[in-house]
Structure 1
Amino acid sequence: MDQLIATKQNSVGEIIVSSRELHEFLEVETPFRKWFPRMTEYGFVEGVDYTLDIFVHPLNKQETADFLLKLDMAKEIAMLQRTEKGKQARQYFLHLERMWNSPDMVIKRAMDFQQQKIVMLETQIQEDKPYTEFGKVVSMSDGAINIGAFAKLIYDKHGINIGRNKLLSWMRDSGYLIKQEGAEKNLPKQKFIERGWFKVRPTVVKRTSGDIQTGTTLVTGKGQVELTNILLSAFSEKAI
């Protein structure tokens, strides 16, 4: 059977139909903006039977609403028209359904799904590449180090010639560490702790007026990888 109406698959592999293309095929005289809301009154539920799809119309370049229908809804709408076109559409959808559920198609979908998993795995490997290049074991470990040790590490491994004090200044100016004077100066901002870039090791400073509780900023393995990539882009040995 020739393709009467274009179809595609949604994210879970179900056949879906454009409501606008179906409206056009059925040659309904009622404008689409009035017709589709009437069709939904037959008990169809958004998010279950159909989903909203916004696209840029190729003619007027305006954002336009379409609705992607599951096959059961498309069949029922076609039947509701009670026209020859409606009958043709319903027969076409029934044919698609039979083909879709045939053993060959079931096997093909399983193979396609497996191929998608392979592609996703390959993509993940590429995304993980920066970690493997700098030592993914370190990035995932709890091997947090202080700022001075991190400054030495990036110089030894990457030639970024920046000492502890300059590195602290850069981290403050870049918004990673707290700038304000006081006990919290040079401690990491909370959002970067939550990202897993930093840890704070509690420290007690003994003074004659009384002990003060403060903290030492440590760069985690993940933070070392992320910050090194940023520093490599921001600095060169000549510039520092």
Structure 2
Amino acid sequence: MQDITPASSVGASPFDGIRRTTPEGREYWSARDLMPLLGYDSWRRFADAIKRAKIAAHTSGRDVTSNFAGAVKISETKPAEDHHLSRFACYLIAMSGDPRKPEVAAALAYFAIRTREAETATSDLTQLSRRDILLMALEAEDRADQQQARAEVAERERDELAPVAGKFLDAEGDLSVRDAAQALTRAGVKVGQNRLFALLDERYGWIKRAVGDGRYRVIQSAIESGYMSVIPQSHYHPKTGVLVLDAPQPRVTPKGVQRILVDHGGAA
């Protein structure tokens, strides 16, 4: 049985207090412990954030299984779903949160510093001065400010496009690129699936074709702006039976369809 040992919590950060290590010295954070520190009050909402972070990890070429190890949280009532998260996984989850929340901003700064410490561990951590740490924290906060600015712009755009949605768009939920093309055509913007893929790539920069498999990947900023989303896809290998993660399916949100419709002057 794996022995789970809480890490030393000498530091003032609450994220240090929930950091744990295995007997082999591997550190991790329990998703159940992390959830309240990021301001989430329900596991369902936090599980959605974990799902988005997994997609981001897969898109960036990171191993999802090792960074988001499945686990079970033993409580006084009944066992509950949990994940043992790496530093990188925690950072991705924090990035998917609302940067205007102080809890999220604090997490971004903390895990940015932890990542930097790990990167320099092979050299000499004594060379990492207080000024270096402060600069890293400020850089993380600056990224959070940029995310907040993007969120505010997206909110204003959503308000501006709301009347358009009532006139042109009757679709509910996110659409595949094929269905989005059909919705746009019905609204007066004649575009096929292939042309819409090209528009999303070349004009809007919401997707990019991967070098390896040639499949389109959604850009994280397009997800954060609310224009695109993804659906994880997987299949079991026919010979080994191992679960294989496929490229996530790009989806266009109603807001994304509205944006394209406005840009191309769809019929009222």
TM-score > 0.5, shorter chain as reference: no
Q: TM-score, normalised by structure 1?
A: 0.37
Structure index of larger Rg: 1
Q: TM-score, normalised by structure 2?
A: 0.34
